[in-house]
Every structure is written in structure tokens, then in C-alpha cells.
Amino acid sequence: MLNCGFAKRTIGLYLTVGIVIVMLFCSCAPKSDFVELPDSEGWCRTWGTVMSPDEEEGQSSAASAIRNATCRQVIRSSIGGSRIRLTFSNEYGDIPLVIERASIARLVNPGSPELEAEGGSAAITFYGSESVTVPAGETVVSDEIFFEVEALESLAVSIYVGDYTGGTVTLHDGADTTSWIVKGDCVDDGQLYGVKLSSSWYYLSGLDIWSKEGTRAVAVIGDSISAGELTSIDRYMSWPCQLSGLINQGEYSGRLSLVNLSGFETLTENGKLSQRIKEQLLSVPGLRYVILSVGINDIGSAQADISQSMIEAYGELVSLCHQNGIRVYCQTLTPVGGNFYYSELHEKIRGTINRFIRDETSPFDGVLDFAAVLSSEEDSSRIRDEYNPSAPDYLHPGDAGHTAMSEYAYSSLLSFISEASDAESEE
């Protein structure tokens, strides 16, 4: 069950967030290059993540830990359904990956590897077989599985990997849930013992649900902030996770999935739009909306003013999305004062980019002004004290900051989608 941390919010917070929404809400007119796509029933991504290569070597590497072992990892579906499929990636492997066996089941709770005794489980098969070989650099999609999934339900995906781990393990480092690794084939075990704890997702990159006509996905393309760095683990406290909970309490429950594709380090590569972002955007079934939450790492490593190259990358991304029937909502870049990312140059770039994002002539279909939500009233270059975690790095907000962002994002997203629906009905 979602724990959104709503306790003890003050009237002042309600007023502040309300004022921010009213004063700083910004939406841009539909763009001329936008291509409308028809709605139809089909696969819709309901959980996903961004993969990267394991950078450790020797005994500390993921390959060493996961070889001849079972990995049980936790995912949470943002919408429900009864027909599912899963995607596994060997994108960064240099040899084939062999998944010997895999299953999906319900967890007792996301902080424990224990499966529900009567919750049911299902074998994950590939082309009718329980094992699959995934060539280096490729992904594989499972067979369709008939397995009832509820919205916001924690699910355990257990995989047994033998000798062939893909060489370099493809993973997502910095998951917001715990994974458990134990030697041997323990895929069907209701409880795991002698486990090694991890905060990574291994090979598993997507969960899709067969959805009725009108179901759409919104993806957060973000960095470590939207990935939930420094939020409470196993509690789904990142603002995208909390936003998913709010969606499921409202009018779009069951019709709008939320996929947190956060983990991109930068918007640009060598001054151009990241190829990884472009590839990821076009691989999400059912995607109709993107919340763009990346750019602060570009600034944090900048040695000169990179504003223009960032603006050009934003424009290229919006054009790519519009040509594929995807609307883009961009967040302003949040404060970094007190962090090593801060400098006069970096603050100047952040200011330039945020003015561009907020400008009514920007290419975006809407703006989420997270900078205004998080900024201190005394010093706009810093996060408010109450939004920092107990051990702050002054870059990543804590649970309370993510709660404020999720509430603001929910109100704004409802308005954005309403505007988009009105525009579609007029055409």
C-alpha cells in the first residue's frame, strides 16, 4: 500500500502550494507539429526503469553476486489488469545472458522477500519455455501471462541466473526498493534465507498490462532526484511514486499509468540530446505524456555556459515526442545551493534554463515549476529546510519535499490532460 507521508501538513503548506499552483501554473498552446494518435486497446507500460552497466569489478561485481543465484526484486504496477508481460534487458552485456527460470508473485510487504502464501504466483515463460537466452546488447519480452494485478500492488519478480550473466550485468543501480540475492534456484521458495541485500533491479526493465481503449501512460524522464535519491526506501516516497498514488485516488484511476524512467545522468551528450533518452522514449507502449525532469547534472558538470546546447536539446526532444503523439511537460530545475554543484556560473545557467522553460513561447505543452515549490523564501538558490532530508546534500529533497512536488504535479497534470483532451476533441 502506498505510504505518501501526508501526516501533519500545516495550513501554511496548503496555502503555499495553492499559491504556487495558481501563480506559476503555465501551459503552452498545442504545437503545429503534433501528431494525434488513435486510442485503442493494447499493451500499456505500467512499470519501468532505466538500465545501465554494472561498473564494479571482481568479487564486488554484480556478476559475481548473481551467478548461479536467485534474485528476487520488487516492482509496483501503477494500474491493474489480468494479462501481463515483462521485459528483460541484456543491453550492456558483452556475452549472452541465460535466465534459467523466472516467476512473478505477490509480496507480503515490499521490505521482505516473503511471498503471500495464497496470493498466487505464475511462471514467466519465453516462447513457451521456462528458460531464455538473451544475446548481448538485446532485450527479450516474455510470453503473455494471465495473472491478476491490482493497481499499486507490490510484486516479486524472481529470476534464477546460471553461469551466463551477460558478462557485464545490466541493472538499475539505486532502486527505491530492496532486492534479495541467494545462491541456488529458489525461484519458487516462499521465503528466502541467507540473502544478500541490494538496492538494484537486475535485467528487469518493464512490466506491461493489456489495457482497454483510452488507457494511456505518462513517463517521467528524470535523474536521481526523481528517482528518489535520499527518500525512504521500500516506502515509495519519490514524487513520481506518490503521484501514481494520487492518480489512483482520482478520476483517472485505471486509465493513466505512471512509469518512472529516472536514472538518466544528463539531458545532453557531447552537446547533443542524449541518444539513450531518444531510444527510451520510443520504447514505452501506450506512452502519450512525458514529464521531463532532467538537466541539473548537465549544469553541475559544466565548465562554461551550456545554456544554448541545453535549449536546443529540449527543442529536439519536444519535436521528437510531438511527431510520435507524445505531449511534453517540463519541470524547472530545482535549487542546488549548499551542494558542490553550486557556483555562480551554474546558478546563472539554471536561471537561464528556468526562464526558457517558463516562457510562454517555449516548445513545451506545460510547465511544472518545481523550483518555485522547493525554493527557500530567503534564498532561492537553496531548498527549503523543511524539504531537506535529515542528512541533506542540498541537491536531493527528502520525503516532505517529494510530497510537495507530487501534490503540485498532480494538480497540474489534471489541468494539462484536460487541456489536451479539449484540443483533441476540437480536431
Min mean pLDDT across 25-29, 85-89, 291-295, 312-316 is at: 25-29
> In 3-state terms, what secondary structure has residue 14?
helix
Strands 170-173 and 52-53: what pairing?
A: antiparallel
Please state whether 394 falls in left (phi above 0), alpha (psi between -120 and 50) or beta: left
Distance CA 311, CA 164 (A): 43
> Which carries the bigger pLDDT value, residue 125 or residue 1?
125
Question: Which sign does the torsion angle of CA 23, 24, 30, 31 carry?
Answer: positive
Q: Tell me which of 21 and 154 has the higher pLDDT.
A: 154
Tens digit of pLDDT for each residue in 183-230? 999 999 999 999 999 999 999 999 999 999 999 999 999 999 999 999
pLDDT of 427 reads 61
Dist CA 377 CA 369 (whole Å): 15
Please report, in angstroms and rounded to a whole number, the separation of the first and last CA atoms in the chain: 40
Question: pLDDT tens, 145-174?
Answer: 999 999 999 999 999 999 999 999 999 999
**Mean pLDDT computed over 124-134:** 98
Q: Which residue has the higher pLDDT, 11 or 384?
A: 384
Torsion sign, CA atoms 309, 313, 316, 318:
negative
- Cα dihedral value 298, 299, 303, 307, nearest 10: 90
Among the ranges given (5-14, 330-339, 377-386), the one the predictor scored with the smallest mean pLDDT? 5-14
Residue type for position 350 = R
**Dist CA 324 CA 165 (whole Å):** 35
Amino acid at 275: Q
Contact 401, 347 (CB under 8 A): no
Residue 1: is its pLDDT beyond 90?
Answer: no
For residue 47, what pLDDT band results from cuts at 50, 70 and 90?
Answer: very high
What is the DSSP pairing of strand 216-222 with strand 256-262?
parallel
Q: Is 300 helix (H, G, I), strand (E, B) or coil?
A: helix
CATH hierarchy code of domain 11-41+212-426: 3.40.50.1110
Q: What is the DSSP letter of 28?
A: P
374: helix, strand or coil: helix
In angstroms, the Cα distances linking 31 to 57, 113, 288, 328 are 48, 47, 15, 11
Q: Any idea where the domains of the chain sit in the sequence? A: 11-41+212-426, 66-207
Q: Cα–Cα distance between 285 and 141 in angstroms, integer?
A: 12
Q: What DSSP string runs through 235-290?
A: TT-SHHHHHHHHHTTSTTTTTEEEEEEE----SEETTEE-HHHHHHHTT-TTEEEE
d(CA 168, CA 52): 10
Angle at 135 between CA 132 and CA 140, to 5 degrees: 55
Taking the whole predicted model, whether its pTM rises above 0.85 is answered as: yes
- Label residue 295 exposed, middle or buried (CB < 10 Å: 0-12, 13-18, 19+): buried
Nearest alpha carbon to residue 418 among 243, 262, 256? 256
- Virtual torsion, Cα 58, 61, 67, 71, nearest 10 deg: 160
